[in-house]
Structure 1
Amino acid sequence: MNIEVYRDYCLAKKGVTEHFPFDEVTLVFKVMGKMFALCGLERIPFQVNLKCDPERSLELREEYSEAIIGAWHMSKKHWNTVIPEGNISNDFFFELIDHSYEMVVKGLTKKMQQELEGL
C-alpha cells in the first residue's frame, strides 16, 4: 500500500475533498466538511488515522497490535492509527477506510446526508 493508492481510494468516495488544515505535510480527507482520514506525508512508515467505532477500535488494537494503535494527538476512543505495512491486507485497509467514512456520514445531519446522496 502506498499513499497514492490511499489518496485515490479516498477521493473516489462521494462528497470527499482533500485539505491541509494543520500544515503542509498533514493530508486530511473530509466528507461533507467532516474529517474521516488523515496522514502525515513525511511519516515513515506510511500510516493513517481513521475514525472507528469505540468498541471495534479496542478489538482491532488487540487483534492487530502491530498495525493498529490508538491515534496520536487524537481521541483514542474514536480514532486509530493504521500502519498498512503491518500485518493487514490491502482489502482490510480499504474496509477500515470505508468504516471511517461511514461513521462520519452516519453522524451528519439528515440535511447533509440528503445533500451527499444527491451528489
Structure 2
Amino acid sequence: MRARELPASTLEFPFGPDVDVYKVRGKVFMIHTVVDDEPLVVIKASPSDGLALRDAHADITPGYHMDKRHWISLHPGGSLGPDVVEELVTESYRLVVAGLPSAQRPVEPHAFGRGQR
C-alpha cells in the first residue's frame, strides 16, 4: 500500500484494529477501513480538487466522518484503478506535509512524487 512507502509515515489504530490511520509527523493524511463490506480510503484534498474529483468519479464521495470540504472518500475497485488511488494518496500526503513547519517536513511537498514511479 502506497501510504506505508511514504517518508516518515506511521500507522496507528486510535479507532480500533479495523481502522488504519496513516500519519506524517502526527498529522493524519489517510484512513483505511471497511464500511458495509466495502473497502474505503479517506484522504485529504484541496476543496477545489475535491469538488472536481467528486464530479468526475462516481467512486469518489465526500469524506466519511470527516470535514466534507477538505476530505474525500475513495471507493477502490469500480472506476478507480490502483494508479489513481496511489496518486491521490500521495497528493493527500503532500498537502499534509505542506502544512507542517519547514523543519518537520520529511520531504519538499511541491516536488515529492512528481514525475517519479
For structure 1, which segment, 35-44 or 69-78, has the greater mean C-alpha deviation from structure 2 after superposition? 35-44
**1:71-90 alignment, distance < 5 Å:** 71-90=63-82
The letter for the 1-side match of 2:83 is D
Distance 1:86 1:57 in 2: 18
String of CA shifts for 1:37-61, please: whole Å, max 9, x gaps.
0021565211100100110100000
Structure 1 gap ranges (5+): 1-5
More helix by share: 1
One of 10, 13, 37 as aligned partner of 2:6: 13
Find the counterpart in structure 1 of residue 18 from structure 2.
25
Distance 2:35 2:63 in 1: 17
Contact 1:25–1:42 under 8 Å retained in 2: no
Distance 1:101 1:43 in 2: 26
Structure 2 gap ranges (5+): 108-117
After superposition, the CA RMSD in angstroms is 1.4
The letter for the 2-side match of 1:90 is P
Find the counterpart in structure 2 of residue 3 from structure 1.
none
String of CA shifts for 1:52-102, please: whole Å, max 9, x gaps.
01101000001102x100012100100000011120221111110010000
Name the TM-score, length of structure 1 as normaliser.
Answer: 0.84
Name the TM-score, length of structure 2 as normaliser.
Answer: 0.85
